[in-house]
Structure 1
Amino acid sequence: MMMRRRRRKKKKKKKKKKKKMMMMMMMMMMVVVVVVTTTTMMMILIMIMRFELN
């Protein structure tokens, strides 16, 4: 019984950690998407400026 209870407690903790990890992953994905979009926009602007100058 003790082992079972411990296992259940561990599983619950793991689930909580997974939820936190999912939240962290979502935040990371959002940050990555924002960074990629900003960098692509900057690159496009730089390319346009270069073409205009040339």
Structure 2
Amino acid sequence: MNDNCPRCPRENVAPITELRDGTQVSHLYRCAGCGHVWSTNRDLGAYGEAA
């Protein structure tokens, strides 16, 4: 699941790593534009991907 950089206008940033745990997924991102690093944690059920 790609994300938009929260610091600059770059869109569609691909995660550099992913961890799935039950119904949760965590992604780590690094923006190629500005170098900002951030993470997300999402409930897969909200995206129709629950295991």
Length-normalised TM-score, structure 2: 0.17
Which structure shows the higher helix fraction? 1
TM-score (norm 1): 0.17
Identify, as 1 or 2, the structure richer in strand: 2
